[in-house]
Amino acid sequence: MGSSLPDLTYEEFSRRLRACAVEALTERVCGALWAHYRTLRAWNPRLSLVGPGTAGSVVERHYGEALAALPLLDGADSLLDVGSGAGFPGFVLAAARPELAVTLVEARQKKWAFLLAAARRAQLSCRCLNVRVGAAFESEPVAAVSWRAVDLPEATRVRLASLAGRLLIWCGAKEPSLPAGWCKHRTVDLAGSEQRRIVEWLPVDR
C-alpha cells in the first residue's frame, strides 16, 4: 500500500508550485497540474506513485524538479518521456508547455491507467503509451527524450539516442553512460540537494 499525500487546497498548491517554478506559471498551467495532483492523491494509496519519504515535499520535489527543465526545452517541439510513472517529469512539462507534442511511455499497466486518468482530468492532449521501451521500440524522431529515476539498459539508451535531438536526464552524482557521439551540454542543479540534477546531452556535431 502507498502513502497518503497532503490534502492541499488549490491556493496552497499553486502558491508552492509558483514558488519553486523557474518561470511564471499561468492559471491554466496551475489548474492542469492541480488536476494531476488531485488524481495523484486519489491513486497514490493504491499504487505508491510517490513514496512516503517525499510525500510532504511532493510539490517541490516532484513538480518543481520537473519544471526545472523548462529552459532546456527552448526551441523543442516534441518530447518523449520514458518511464513516466507518476508523470514526473513528462506530464508536468506537457502541462507547462501546451504547444509541445508530448508522449508519455509507461510499461506498467496500472501506472499507464493513472496517466490516462490524469490527462483526461487535466484536459491535456499528450499521448500515453503502455509499451516497454527497448531496442525494438518504434517512434518518430523527437526533439527531446527525457527520463527520471529509471535505470535503462545500454541497448535502450542507444536506441533512444538514435531518436532524439537532445537527451534530458534526471540523475544523481553518477551519470548514465551514453553512446559515442554525445556530449554533456548543460547541467541544472536541483534545489535542496547537492547531488540531484538534470543533465542535457547533445550530439557532438550540434
Question: How does pLDDT run across 74-118, given as a tens digit for each residue?
Answer: 999 999 999 999 999 999 999 999 999 999 999 999 999 999 999
Residue 114 inside a domain? The answer is: yes
| Residue 206 pLDDT | 65
Question: Alpha-carbon distance 184 to 128, whole Å?
Answer: 29
Residue 195 inside a domain? The answer is: yes
Three-state SS for 56-100 is CCHHHHHHHHHHCCHHHHCCCCEEEEECCCCCCCHHHHHHHCCCC
pTM of the prediction?
0.96
Across the range 57-66, mean pLDDT stands at: 97
Cis peptide preceding 176, ω within 30 of 0:
no
| Residue 130 pLDDT | 96
Question: Alpha-carbon distance 170 to 197, whole Å?
Answer: 6
Question: Alpha-carbon distance 166 to 145, whole Å?
Answer: 6
Residue 131 inside a domain? The answer is: yes
Percent of the chain residues topping a pLDDT of 70? 99
Residue 47 inside a domain? The answer is: yes
Residue 138 pLDDT grade (very low, low, confident, very high; cuts 50, 70, 90): confident
At 119, is the secondary structure helix, strand, or coil? helix
Residue 115 inside a domain? The answer is: yes
Residue 4 inside a domain? The answer is: no
| Residue 184 CB-half CA count within 13 A | 11
Residue 155 inside a domain? The answer is: yes
| Residue 135 pLDDT | 64
Residue 3 inside a domain? The answer is: no
Residue 136 pLDDT grade (very low, low, confident, very high; cuts 50, 70, 90): low
Per the structure, the count of domains in the chain is 1
Question: How does pLDDT run across 143-171, given as a tens digit for each residue?
Answer: 999 999 888 888 898 889 999 999 999 99
Q: List the domain range (segments joined by +) for residue 40.
A: 10-203
Helix axes 109-122, 27-47, angle to 10 degrees: 150
Q: For position 71, which CATH number holds?
A: 3.40.50.150
Instruction: Find the helix or strand (DSSP H, E) in which 110 lies.
Output: helix 109-122
Top pLDDT among 193 and 23 is at 23
| Residue 154 pLDDT | 87
Other Cβ atoms less than 10 A from the Cβ of 31: the count is 16
* Nearest alpha carbon to residue 148 among 184, 183, 95, 104: 104
Other Cβ atoms less than 10 A from the Cβ of 85: the count is 22
| Residue 129 near residue 104 (C-beta atoms within 8 A) | yes
The CA-based angle 43-44-45, given to 5 degrees, is: 100
Across the range 172-178, mean pLDDT stands at: 85
Q: How is residue 189 written as a grid cell? A: 542543479
